[in-house]
Structure 1
Amino acid sequence: MDNKSLSHTKWKCQYHIVFIPKYRKKQLYGQIKVDVREIISTLCKYKDVEIIAGAVCEDHAHLSVAIPPKISISSFMGYLKGKSTLMIYDRRPELQSKWNKAFWARGYYVETIGNITEDAVRKYINEQAEESRKEDARSTAF
């Protein structure tokens, strides 16, 4: 990925992010997986965040993203998890309980991509997605 620019800034701020549903429930499968992928993609476009690679697995989500330096990683994750929760519950109200309003767990894992290559992160995310597909196939087979 080439350096991007704002009016007075050249930048290349890339992150690998992993976040999980509340209590690490295995609920990201089937149509909800498609919905979450679409919602995350839409929200990233709203903030001009480029998704380099990503995977929604059964009990976690991986993103490799380029975030403009004017947005802090913590504010972006607050936005992403907060807005995606509202959008998920709009599409799937049955997932929301009256006592527990949170869909995502409070924390997340983030690392800058600099010491390793983009290809290594992309390969890792693809391996995680493949492993998740295998788990989905095993869980649906009788």
Structure 2
Amino acid sequence: MPYDKGCHTVFHHRYHLVWITKYRFKVLRGTIRERIREIIWQVCDELGVTIINGVLSSDHVHMFVSIPPHHAVSNVMRKVKGRSSRKIQMEYPELRKRYWGRHFWARGYFCSTSGLVTDDIILQYIDKHAPKPTDVSR
């Protein structure tokens, strides 16, 4: 089990995160899907979050990530969902008809740490949902 290192810390924080589009509309396709992927990568890079694996389905996102101890999961999710929602609605005005309240993502998210459920089980679960196994990962 490889550990991550910060300036004064050594840690192994792994989280399985899942969130859905509002009303579960299947809009994560084509150029929107690619743009969402880029925005998520940008936000994670800025925060120092490592994306181990991930998948964008047509109506939800699965990510297996390593989040440094100085970031709360809730703050990471707030920034990822907030920035991606804002940018995607600015760049794709046709989404305004569907998402009239300016909310692209549904409220909340699912979060689980690896522990009793091992990293391998989470990775297998994500791979099962993937049309392409490396959809969100580089």
Residues 85-105 of structure 1 show CA distances to partners (whole Å, capped at 9, x for unaligned) of 112123212212484111001
Where in structure 1 do 4 or more consecutive aligned residues deviate above 3 Å? none
TM-score by length of 2: 0.87
Corresponding position of 1:37:
37
Q: Show the counterpart of 2:120.
A: 119
Whether 1:5 and 2:8 are equivalent positions in the alignment is no
Q: Deviations over 1:106-139 (max 9, x none)?
A: 11000001222222211111110139xxxxxxxx
Q: Deviations over 1:69-100 (max 9, x none)?
A: 10001111111100111121232122124841
How many equivalent pairs are there? 131
Match of 2:102 in 1: 101
The secondary structure found in structure 2 opposite 1:84 is: helix
Once residues 107 and 69 of structure 2 are traced to their aligned partners in structure 1, the CA distance between those partners, rounded to angstroms, is: 23
Cα RMSD between the aligned structures?
1.7
* Larger Rg, first or second structure (1 or 2): 1
Identity %: 40
CA distance in 1, matches of 2:88, 2:115: 32
Residues 1:76 and 1:128: Cα distance change in structure 2 (over 3 Å): same
Q: Deviations over 1:38-59 (max 9, x none)?
A: 1111111111100000000011
Contact (CA 8 Å) 2:89, 2:102: kept in 1 or not? no
**TM-score, normalised to structure 1's length?**
0.85
Structure 1 stretches of 5 or more lacking a match?
A: 132-142
Q: Give, in whole Å, the separation in 1 of the partners of 2:100 and 2:131.
A: 34
